[in-house]
Amino acid sequence: MDKIALEIGICLAASISVMIFHELGKAAAYLFCKPDNWKRLKNVWKLWQYIDPVGLLLGVTCYVPISKPYFFRIQDKRSNRILGIVGFIMLALLFGGSISLLKMMDTGRLPVPSSSTLLQILVLYLQYVALLSFGMAVANLFPISVFDMGLIIAGISSEKYMGLIRSDAVVKMILVLTLILDVIHYAGIRLLEILL
């Protein structure tokens, strides 16, 4: 029972880390795109605002966390594109970084904690970060208006974005079906097996 509780705690910590890193990067990009928004900088560092309770539940059950986006007021296509791309870049950095750290620990190129319990916790945390960042990246490929792909589409064409909003419910149903069938989680596990 204690092992299960510890593993759930580690998964929750990894989910929170992925959510914050993903949204904080986009919030920083938003501030750089809109220099007049620097007065809102103090709000960006309230990290708890990026944590979505439903996203935490999805992170623990389906390994696909969904974060709360920073409240953007975007009026130009360029900023939309940048924010969508930055979201994917942040998730790729998390995935690649955690895989690299795990490989470096495995080969002995990275000093590891002497306690076997701490080492197991660290390895499990990094594995969860890799799995969850992959899951979030795949989920963000779905063209939902507030997801990264939705931002990219808004940055390409206003008409396509309006069409995307009209079909939002259908796309969300497809995402839910994908989560129920555990397709994203299975793909993530297979990818980790190949890379590690």
* 150: Cα within 13 Å, side-chain hemisphere: 19
Each domain of the chain, given as residue ranges in start order, spans: 2-195
* Cβ neighbours of residue 183 closer than 8 Å, sequence gap 6 or more: none
The candidate with the shortest Cα–Cα distance to 58, out of 171, 169, 180, is 180
Q: What is the pLDDT of residues 29-65, one digit of tens each?
A: 887 877 666 666 667 778 888 899 999 999 999 999 9
Q: What is the pLDDT of residues 129-145, one digit of tens each?
A: 999 999 999 999 999 98
Q: What is the pTM of this model?
A: 0.91
Q: What is the pLDDT of residues 150-179, one digit of tens each?
A: 999 988 988 888 888 899 899 999 999 999
Give 71's pLDDT tier (boundaries 50, 70, 90). Answer: low
